[in-house]
Every structure is written in structure tokens, then in C-alpha cells.
Amino acid sequence: MTRSANLGFPRIGARRELKRATEAFWANPRDRSALEHTAADLRAANWATQRDAGVDVVPSNDFSFYDQVLDMTAALGAVPPRFGHAGGPVGIDTYFAMARGTAAAPAMEMTKWFDTNYHYIVPEFHRGQRFEPAGTKAVDEFREAAALGVHTRPVLLGPVTWLRLGKSKEPGFDALELLDDVVAVYGELLARLSDAGADWVQIDEPMLALDLDAAEREAYARAYAALAGTGPAVMLASYFEGLRDNTELAAALPVAGLHVDLIRAPDQLEPVLNAVGRDTVLSLGVVDGRNVWRADLDAALAPVETAVARLGAERVEVAPSCSLLHSPVDLDLETDLDPELKSWMAFAKQKLHEVATLARAAGEGREAVAEQLAAGREAVASRRRSPRIHKPAVAERLAAVTPEDARRASPYEERRAAQRAHLDLPPFPTTTIGSFPQTTEVRQKRAAFRRGDLDRAAYERFLEAATERTVRLQEELGLDVLVHGEFERNDMVEYFGERLDGFAFTRHGWVQSFGSRYVKPPVIFGDVARPAPMTVRWSAYARSLTDKPVKGMLTGPVTILQWSFVRDDVARAEVCRQLALAIRDEVGDLEAAGVRLIQIDEPALREGLPLRRADRDAYLAWAVECFRLASAGVADATQIHTHMCYAEFNDIMPAIAALDADVISIETSRSAMELLDGFVDFEYPNEIGPGVWDIHSPRVPAADEMRRLLEKAVRVLPRERLWVNPDCGLKTRGWPEVEASLAHMVEAARTLRREAAG
Ligand code: GLN
Ligand code: ZN
């Protein structure tokens, strides 16, 4: 029979139970049993959900108190020395200390898990590092499930991926030198799982779908040769990309099964079928684990049937493309969602049913699940023809876009002269990135307005007062370019999504971002259009209050795309172009309202970069085009700003320059301006505001500290092109720090002006 399998289920709970329990434990670490209970309940409920959905292969050890990479780090005893771990089992206090830091030891770094919005804790390596089996989590959870009557397939992160995800501070040291020692401990962990009764394990090696060098390929061969025969049969899981040039390598590894992602890379089916060994079980990821759409079951079944015909039903498994960790939990809770939209969607729980249906269709024939297939077909057809999705005006407008639309009227040097003439800014102009503190009061008023407890007029009066106070404060502090403060915004993407056609919002569609932080991305279900101005009211209001220039504040098309669940019936590039035109309209309206500096934030530009090098230029080309389409419609004298943070940009400098923004502000203060190197090496042509205040920390930097950072910048960049600003928006900071830090920032800029003049 063709089996259905799952690779991982969201651990956060349908109602975010894990968040509440974890944060309660952090607040009161004495009460550990409440957290343990919640965790056990969540695991039990998840196993039952999967079994009841008819999934044959149910995972265990996919649960985590914080992060599955940190779980592997703990299981291998790879605790960095600063946490004072003496060896042996890694307890929960050490575990959370690694994730969150303590007074004595800073937290381990955190970074993005491949191209998802999930963040993992980065393992740390050093020469001569020792490893040992330092935890029983995988075995305990396998036994826990077995006691509940569910025979599971435990999940482990594979050794090569784990090593490659980590970092070493020692120059010239390659973590792969640790491979043999690490693999020896994996061998022991696998043997223990086998002793506990596990007949299969799932080993995740997403790195197998990335560009590998010779050493990494050799590491794969060596690691899996060493593990062969030490424990349960291995289902080796690749996902997020196709195996491509690694297909032969993956197929030749001595493992019992191979999982491939046919959502991201449907074309790999044929090469994989040709390459797999005679007994290998092939797991086909045909249900999208990273999106919210109901699967097209007929389309998903085609590759499964092809594989069954070639390999036999016994050697084929049907699965989601990757762990369902990246999907919201349960669509059934969305009782407020419009029924038609809801009929087009599937969250993790619903995806399990799709997987089970597909496996039955492949094993027993389509007739066995005729009803489910028909229902799915109806939903897919209704989505395809819905007038709510397809708006002819949007398509016509896109078709009429010309290359000129994505080009400013004049080259930068001419624009610069026009902007200088009417902006009349001092050298080293000071500004901020947009938001000012989102205090409890601001959030409470918004919540009251949403509940209907505060009427619109009263809410807007409150926002006006907050905006006015912020404008006055900026005037008093002596900032040169003011902002309105973004008090009307809950979130930089949601605010725009709520004002655009084609977007929907869920109530419970949470996905883990890191630890106890979850996000609820908007859903772009149809053609995007802007029915009315979105921000003009607030920028124009701020402008009416002051003679100083006010900068308008928008989120860019690439960032809106990147932080949403995006429709899967058209290319992402196309959705992005629609977003770009909507933002372009807003830019035009701001300009018409007299707002002559307009910032379009693109903090997520870098994170949309494809995992494979070969795909990157194509992505950057459309991403840059979209930014330009959004921004290029303005007069020479209107100054376009952009802002980026969260990442290193040096590898995409040509693309950043190609945005042709007049001014870019970037996060640089934590790396003490190292990031600027990229801008210097590349001779970035336009103006730059390197962040001089790390807004991620409550610390108030001294004026001298900021002056020194600016002097560093002056040494490498033309001084007449420098701006002075914080690293990012100030919404997470408190007013006292903001006032003090901005005063110091203005002082630092003034000192530099004096030095330059004298
Ligand atoms: N304008 C936004 C703000 O100030 C930018 C946020 C961001 O870059 N993440 O909050
Ligand atoms: Zn930022």
C-alpha cells in the first residue's frame, strides 16, 4: 500500500498554548510542571489529530520548547562553554539560557531557517569540541507516543546540515572537521531509538537541496556510510528546493528512503525516479507545507501515480513538501472568515487529510476517495473562476506598464541638484526611520477602536494628538527631516494589506517565527489594487503642523510579498508587480499632497533571495524592477528614500544600487559600520544613512559614541552624501530612551558639522 506520511506538525497549539505556557515559565521558573503538562497535552493532541486524519506515518520529536536546531545542539551536548554546562544531560534551564541568554552569558545567535520566516539558534563550534549523547528527548517522545498507541517515526536534524548551520569564531576552522565525532554520537542516538522500538527515523538534510562544494558532498557520503546499519531505517528528507546536481549523491547514500519536495521543484520527479536505488522508498512532497491553499488533488496525484507505476505502491509515500511547522494549525477555528475564501484554504490539520486522501487514491484507486476528490475539485474550480480573484483592470494596467515606468526621469546627479535646491538641508541631515514608540496606550486605543468601544472620530483625535506631540518633539530636538510616527499602524505589512484589495486576514493563522514569537501573515488571495489612499491623511496632517520637511512612510512591494501568504495560482513576480503599482499610486498621491520625501521600506528584500545561486539574478531582477515601478513615477525634486535592516547586504550591492533610491538608510551600528564596507567597495552612488543607534537595545548611546561611528563613515564615504539616523524604527523603544538618544544623535551630527566647517 502507498503510505501517507507527515514530516512535522506545528507545536505551538491551535490557540498558541505553547506561547502562554513558555512565557509563564520564564516569568516563574519554579513552576516547571505547568509547562511540561502543556507540552505533553500538545504532543498528545497532535499525535491524535494526525492519526485521526488517517496519516500512516506520524512523526515524533518534532515538538520543541524553542527550536529543533537547538534541540539537536542539546542532544549532542554541544553547549557553548560560557553556559557553564559540566557535561551530561542538558536541563531545561541551560536549554533556555542558550536560546535567551542570562546575565552572565549572552544568548546564542539566531538566524533565518533557509528561506522561511522561522529562526533557529545557531550552533557554535570550536576546535577539539567534544560531543556526547546529552539528552533522551527523542527516545522519551517516541515512548510517550507509543504509550498513547501511536507508533511514530522520530525526526532528527541530520549531521551535515546541523554542522553547516553553525558557526565558528576560530579563523580557518571548518566545522566539517568535527563530522566524524558528531556522527559517532548520532550513531548512539539512533541505536537508542532502535532499542526503544523505532523501526524508521526521519533525518532532515535540507542542505542536500542547496549548492554543495566537494567537501560537503564528501561529508554526506562519509556521514551516511558511517550511520548505515546502526539503527532504524532512515528516511532522508530534503526540502525547500530540488536536489538538482545533488540527485545522484542523495540517491547513492545508503539510506532506506528519500523525501523530495515536489512543490518547490516538481521537475525533479523524473531524475529522482531514474536515480533511486532498487529498494529505496520515495516520499513525495506534493502538498504545500508552506502555504495556506487547498491542494489541487488531481494535480498532486499525477506524480504519485507516476511513481507508483514505476516503483510499486509499497515504495511510495505521500507527504507534505516539508514539515507543517510553517503552516497555521487549524482552519476550522476561522469561524469569521468569509466561507468562500475559507473553502479555498487548508491549514496543517486540513493538509493531513489531503495527504491521506492522496495516499488512498494512489493505493486503492481514485474511486475509493471519489467524494473527497470531487469536493477538492469543486473548491479549486471555484477559486480559479472567482471574480474576487481576477480583476481585469489590474491585468490591463500591468500589461500597459512600459520600461520607462520603472525609470526616474533624470539620472541621480540631476535629481540631487533639484532636491538640494528646494530641500535646503544642512550637511549630515538627521532623520528617523519612521515609527515612534508604540506604547501600551497606543495599542489599547487601537484595540478599543477595533472592538467598537472607541468610535472612529475619537480614535483619530487620539492619533492626531500623538502625531502632533511627535512632530513637536522632533522640532525641539532639532531633527532636520521629520516623520509622523506611524501611530496608526499595527504592523508595517498588515496596515497596508488591510487597505488593499486582494488581501484577507485570519484570526488564528499563527506560525512560529522564533521561540515564543509567532506571526500571523496576511493572505494575498487575489489581484491587488488600491481602492483609496492609505497613508496620505497622516503624512499630510504631520506636514500641516510644521515648516520642516516631512518624510512619507511606505512599505515596499517586495517586503509586503515576503511577509504574506501569497496566492499560488500566479507567479510571485506578478503578485509583486501588482503590489508595486498599488504603492506607486500611493507615492503619487503623497507627492501631490506636497510630501516631497518618501521612504519605501524594503527590509525583506535580501531574505527573498533564492536558496540556489543560479536562481538569484532572476529574483533580484524582478524585485528591483518592482521597487522601481513603485518609486519612479515622481518628479526629480521628490526624494525617494529606502530602508533595509536585519541582514548583511554586501552580496547584493549591485541590486541595492539598482533600486536607484536617492537615499538608503541601513542597520550598521552593531557591526560598528562593518556593513559600510560593501557600500565602499562597490562605490555606492547615492546618499546613505548608516544607522548610528542600535535600537534593538534599551541602551542610550552617548553622543560621542555616535560621533565616532559617523567619523568612521566619513573616512570611507563622501561626507556630502551622509545622513544621520538610527538603525531602524523606534516602535519597540520607550519615550525616555528615544528622547535621550535622539538628542545625542542630533548633537553628534552638529559636532560633525562644526568639525567640517572649522
Ligand atoms: N518604517 C518602519 C518603522 O520605522 C520600518 C521598520 C523596519 O524596517 N522593520 O518601523
Ligand atoms: Zn528596519
Summarize the confidence of residues 307-331 as an average pLDDT: 98
- The 10s digit of each residue's pLDDT in 378-420 is 999 999 999 999 999 999 999 999 999 999 999 999 999 999 9
- The 10s digit of each residue's pLDDT in 4-28 is 999 999 999 999 999 999 999 999 9
By C-alpha distance, which of 261, 213, 218 is closest to 236?
261
Domain ranges, residue 195:
55-385
Amino acid letter, residue 77: G
- Are 380 and 396 part of one and the same domain? no
Tell me the pLDDT band of 758, cut-offs 50, 70 and 90: confident
Could you tell me if 70 and 92 are in contact, meaning their C-beta atoms sit under 8 angstroms apart?
A: no
Dig out the grid coordinates for 596 from the structure.
Answer: 516631497
Angstrom distance (rounded) from CA 695 to CA 669: 9
pLDDT at 480 over 80: yes
Residue 234 phi, psi (nearest 5): -105, 125
Burial of 456 (0-12, 13-18, 19+ CB in 10 A): exposed
What number of other Cβ atoms are within 10 A of residue 267's Cβ?
A: 10
* Ligand 1 atom index nearest CA of 434: 4
Higher pLDDT, 681 or 520: 520
In this prediction, residue 193 carries a pLDDT of: 98
pLDDT at 251 over 80: yes
Q: What are the start-end ranges of the H helices in 526-571?
A: 536-544, 557-562
- How many Å lie between the centroid of ligand 2 and the Cα of residue 604? 9
- How many Å lie between the centroid of ligand 2 and the Cα of residue 679? 18
Among residues 385, 401, 428, the one where a domain terminates is 385
Could you tell me if 608 and 558 are in contact, meaning their C-beta atoms sit under 8 angstroms apart?
A: yes
Summarize the confidence of residues 519-527 as an average pLDDT: 97
Q: Which ligand is nearest to the CA of 435?
A: 1
DSSP 426: P
- Are 401 and 379 part of one and the same domain? no
What number of other Cβ atoms are within 10 A of residue 170's Cβ?
A: 10
- How many Å lie between the centroid of ligand 1 and the Cα of residue 644? 9
Nearest protein Cα to ligand 1, atom 3: 729
Tell me whether residue 655 is in a domain.
yes
* Ligand 1 atom index nearest CA of 433: 4
Angstrom distance (rounded) from CA 473 to CA 467: 10
Tell me whether residue 467 is in a domain.
no
Region of residue 737 (phi > 0: left; psi between -120 and 50: alpha; otherwise: beta): alpha
In this prediction, residue 281 carries a pLDDT of: 98
Summarize the confidence of residues 649-666 as an average pLDDT: 93
pLDDT at 255 over 90: yes
In this prediction, residue 164 carries a pLDDT of: 98
Summarize the confidence of residues 352-359 as an average pLDDT: 98
Q: Which of 432, 493, 601, 667 to mutate to test the pocket of ligand 1 (most atoms within 8 A of CB)?
A: 601
- Are 643 and 740 part of one and the same domain? yes
Residue 411 phi, psi (nearest 5): -65, 165
By C-alpha distance, which of 109, 86, 226, 240 is closest to 166?
109
Summarize the confidence of residues 639-654 as an average pLDDT: 88
Burial of 258 (0-12, 13-18, 19+ CB in 10 A): buried
- Are 500 and 627 part of one and the same domain? yes
- The 10s digit of each residue's pLDDT in 22-80 is 999 999 999 899 999 999 999 999 999 999 999 999 999 999 999 999 999 999 999 99
How distant is the alpha carbon of residue 455 from its chain centre? 35
Tell me whether residue 598 is in a domain.
yes
* Ligand 1 atom index nearest CA of 489: 10
Dig out the grid coordinates for 280 from the structure.
Answer: 529505496
- How many Å lie between the centroid of ligand 1 and the Cα of residue 491? 9
Pairing of strands 523-529, 517-519: unpaired
DSSP string, 652-682: GHHHHHHT--SEEEE--TTTTTTTHHHHHHT
Could you tell me if 591 and 635 are in contact, meaning their C-beta atoms sit under 8 angstroms apart?
A: yes
- Are 303 and 409 part of one and the same domain? no
- How many Å lie between the centroid of ligand 2 and the Cα of residue 346? 32
Nearest protein Cα to ligand 1, atom 5: 729
Summarize the confidence of residues 212-231 as an average pLDDT: 96
Three-class DSSP category at 513: strand
* Ligand 1 atom index nearest CA of 432: 4
In this prediction, residue 230 carries a pLDDT of: 86
In this prediction, residue 321 carries a pLDDT of: 98
Nearest protein Cα to ligand 1, atom 10: 729
pLDDT at 555 over 80: yes
pLDDT at 670 over 80: no
Three-class DSSP category at 485: strand
pLDDT at 298 over 80: yes
Could you tell me if 50 and 65 are in contact, meaning their C-beta atoms sit under 8 angstroms apart?
A: no
Could you tell me if 179 and 163 are in contact, meaning their C-beta atoms sit under 8 angstroms apart?
A: yes
Tell me whether residue 37 is in a domain.
no
Residue 723 phi, psi (nearest 5): -110, 160
Three-state secondary structure string covering 31-50: CHHHHHHHHHHHHHHHHHHH
Nearest protein Cα to ligand 1, atom 4: 729
* Side-chain half-sphere CA neighbours of 424 within 13 A: 4
Quick one: CA torsion of 25, 30, 34, 38, rounded to 10 degrees? 40
Could you tell me if 199 and 232 are in contact, meaning their C-beta atoms sit under 8 angstroms apart?
A: yes
* Ligand 1 atom index nearest CA of 553: 1
pLDDT at 163 over 80: yes
- How many Å lie between the centroid of ligand 1 and the Cα of residue 129? 40
Three-class DSSP category at 518: strand
Nearest protein Cα to ligand 1, atom 6: 729
Q: Which ligand is nearest to the CA of 731?
A: 1
- The 10s digit of each residue's pLDDT in 698-724 is 899 999 999 999 999 998 889 999 999
Any residues with Cβ below 6 Å from ligand 1, and which?
A: 433-435, 486, 492, 553, 601, 603, 643, 645, 728-729, 731
Q: Which ligand is nearest to the CA of 694?
A: 2
Angstrom distance (rounded) from CA 289 to CA 112: 17
DSSP string, 236-257: EE--SS--GGGHHHHHHSS-SE
* Ligand 1 atom index nearest CA of 644: 8
Among residues 385, 410, 428, the one where a domain terminates is 385
- Are 138 and 213 part of one and the same domain? yes
Could you tell me if 608 and 565 are in contact, meaning their C-beta atoms sit under 8 angstroms apart?
A: no
DSSP string, 284-313: EEEE-TTS-BPP-HHHHHHHHHHHHHHH-G
Dig out the grid coordinates for 240 from the structure.
Answer: 525547500
Angstrom distance (rounded) from CA 667 to CA 647: 8
Among residues 364, 385, 406, the one where a domain terminates is 385
In this prediction, residue 678 carries a pLDDT of: 78
Three-class DSSP category at 121: strand
Angstrom distance (rounded) from CA 378 to CA 297: 11
Question: End-to-end CA distance of the chain, in Å?
Answer: 84
Angstrom distance (rounded) from CA 122 to CA 72: 11
In this prediction, residue 756 carries a pLDDT of: 85
Three-class DSSP category at 570: coil
Residues with catalytic roles: 696
Residue 600 phi, psi (nearest 5): -120, 105
Q: Work out the mean pLDDT of the chain and round it to a whole number.
A: 96
- Are 294 and 398 part of one and the same domain? no
Q: Residue 360: CB partners within 8 Å, gap ≥ 6?
A: 2, 4, 54, 368, 369
Dig out the grid coordinates for 494 from the structure.
Answer: 498588515
Tell me whether residue 484 is in a domain.
yes
- How many Å lie between the centroid of ligand 1 and the Cα of residue 469? 20
Q: Residue 121: CB partners within 8 Å, gap ≥ 6?
A: 66, 67, 69, 70, 73, 98, 99, 107, 108, 109, 110
Q: Residue 727: CB partners within 8 Å, gap ≥ 6?
A: 433, 645, 667, 668, 669, 670, 691, 692, 693, 694, 695, 696
Dig out the grid coordinates for 657 from the structure.
Answer: 544600487
Q: Which of 117, 431, 432, 433 to mutate to test the pocket of ligand 1 (most atoms within 8 A of CB)?
A: 433
Tell me whether residue 447 is in a domain.
no
Q: Distance of CA 618 to CAs 246, 569, 621, 623, 632, Å?
A: 22, 19, 5, 9, 21
Angstrom distance (rounded) from CA 113 to CA 95: 19
Could you tell me if 277 and 251 are in contact, meaning their C-beta atoms sit under 8 angstroms apart?
A: yes
Residue 126, domain CATH = 3.20.20.210
Of the chain, the percentage scoring pLDDT greater than 90 comes to 93
Could you tell me if 152 and 47 are in contact, meaning their C-beta atoms sit under 8 angstroms apart?
A: yes
pLDDT at 433 over 90: yes
* Ligand 1 atom index nearest CA of 729: 4
- How many Å lie between the centroid of ligand 1 and the Cα of residue 434? 6
The C-alpha angle 347, 351, 355, rounded to 5 degrees, equals 175
**Helix 17-27 with 32-52: angle, nearest 10 deg:** 170
- Are 623 and 709 part of one and the same domain? yes
Tell me whether residue 283 is in a domain.
yes
pLDDT at 342 over 90: yes
- How many Å lie between the centroid of ligand 1 and the Cα of residue 323? 30
- Are 416 and 356 part of one and the same domain? no
Could you tell me if 440 and 731 are in contact, meaning their C-beta atoms sit under 8 angstroms apart?
A: no
Length of the chain: 758
Q: Which of 728, 730, 732, 738 to mutate to test the pocket of ligand 1 (most atoms within 8 A of CB)?
A: 728
- How many Å lie between the centroid of ligand 1 and the Cα of residue 729? 4
Helix (H) or strand (E) holding 748: helix 735-757
pLDDT at 651 over 90: no
The C-alpha angle 296, 297, 302, rounded to 5 degrees, equals 105
In this prediction, residue 531 carries a pLDDT of: 97
pLDDT at 750 over 80: yes
DSSP string, 610-657: -SSGGGHHHHHHHHHHHHHHHHTTS-TTSEEEEEE-SS--GGGHHHHH
DSSP string, 259-278: EEETTT-GGGHHHHHHHS-S
- Are 376 and 431 part of one and the same domain? no
In this prediction, residue 729 carries a pLDDT of: 96
Tell me whether residue 48 is in a domain.
no
- Are 494 and 519 part of one and the same domain? yes
Q: Which of 484, 492, 607, 727 to mutate to test the pocket of ligand 1 (most atoms within 8 A of CB)?
A: 492
- Are 266 and 398 part of one and the same domain? no
In this prediction, residue 215 carries a pLDDT of: 98
Provide the domain count of the chain.
Answer: 2
Dig out the grid coordinates for 107 from the structure.
Answer: 544568548
Could you tell me if 749 and 724 are in contact, meaning their C-beta atoms sit under 8 angstroms apart?
A: yes
Q: Which of 431, 432, 435 to mutate to test the pocket of ligand 1 (most atoms within 8 A of CB)?
A: 435
Burial of 527 (0-12, 13-18, 19+ CB in 10 A): buried
